[in-house]
Amino acid sequence: MIWDIFCHVIDNHGDLGVCWRLSADLAQRGHTVRLWVDDASALAWMAPQGCAGVAVRAWPDDATLHAQAHDPSFMVGDVVVEAFGCEIPEPFQALMLLGTRRIWINLEYLSAEAYVARSHGLASPVMSGPARGATKWFFFPGLTPDTGGLLREPNLAARQAAFDRQTWLQGLPLNKPIAPNERLISLFCYEPPALPGLLTQLSQADEPTRLLVAPGRPDAAVRAATQALGMASEGEGQLHISPLPYVNQTEFDHLLWTSDLNLVRGEDSLVRALWAGQPFAWHIYPQDDLAHHTKLQAFEAALEMPASLREFHAVWNGLTTDGLTSLSSANLEDWGHWSQQTRQWLQSQTDLTSQLLSFVAQKR
């Protein structure tokens, strides 16, 4: 089938990251995808090689859509996806009503809250505008079999099994080679208030730690925290800080598979941390009304997270101002065991793209 996927980039890379993974997964299963995005600049490092079967298109303006309306070679895809509630341009909606019926999917954000299972797959009649009379279908990613599942490409397990950790580490452009006894922590966050506490704990730990810091906001947050602590930018004591360059999605997966603890943020990196099977903690996107606290607690409950990891999450996400839970070997071992069990349980469920294809087939 031909798919038109619409994506608005708000203020981070997560929306585009999810849409690109979905687009690439569909293409690798034999479908054709047009990804309409208002800011595709991050794809220069996120997916520099592109993907056969995926065409990236600029978000269409009225003039573009007017020209396409009079171009007999242009046809709206069999499936139109508006990701995360972005509004498809009205002229495109009008084109959707021409010819055969299209399946219109509203792909929502990932959540473990109870409304997800209740709302997944529901119809939403369009009551006004050029697409009046059409129907949108809500498709909710989720963590349980009664939701839309998680993005997981068919070859992921084989890729992980073939991964050579040591060779990959040797190719990382770091400011200092990694010592054999260093534990590795990847950091991809916003600006957690507990970050100075984390740096202090790691600098005073019993074993050396290499903090691998993603570029952008994480790197800026670490620089601000070290400055506030009077700590050298490359770390001190048992902590050594190594900033990373922007990497593509495949290399980001490798980073998560390699690290002994992954501190991730948003939606795309959370799902990839789940598939990595390594200990991880999630820095959820902060919202002014604190709705992210409820979302985080629902996630913890759905996956039966260990108490010590919940305590870490509470501090890391600003639910409490207590000291951070110790990143001791015992805690990391406990969290790793939980991560492995969680991955196994999630792998037993059908992945999002397969579910989406089945859902579309039922509605055509």
Contact call for residues 295 and 111 (beta carbons, < 8 A): yes
The set of residues, in sequence order, having a beta carbon less than 8 Å from that of 180 and lying 6+ positions away, is none
Catalytic, 267? Answer yes
Give the integer Cα–Cα distance in Å for 24 and 245. 23
Closest CA to 254 of 268, 236, 273, 241: 273
Give the integer Cα–Cα distance in Å for 136 and 125. 6
Looking at residue 179, what DSSP letter applies?
A: P
Give the integer Cα–Cα distance in Å for 166 and 168. 5
**CA dihedral for 55, 56, 61, 63, sign (positive or negative):** negative
- Rounded to the nearest 5 degrees, what angle is found at the Cα of 157, between the Cα atoms of 153 and 161? 145
Tokens of 293: 């606290």
Give the integer Cα–Cα distance in Å for 251 and 11. 22
Cβ count within 10 A of residue 307: 10
Please pick, among 182, 267, 300, 311, the residue that the annotation labels catalytic: 267
Please pick, among 15, 113, 253, 300, the residue that the annotation labels catalytic: 15
Give the integer Cα–Cα distance in Å for 185 and 116. 32
Tokens of 186: 């990847």
Looking at residue 6, what DSSP letter applies?
A: E
What is the DSSP annotation of 113-131? SHHHHHHTT-EEE--SSTT
Contact call for residues 25 and 153 (beta carbons, < 8 A): yes
Contact call for residues 293 and 319 (beta carbons, < 8 A): yes
Closest CA to 130 of 67, 58, 69, 64: 69
Q: Give the active site residues.
A: 15, 267
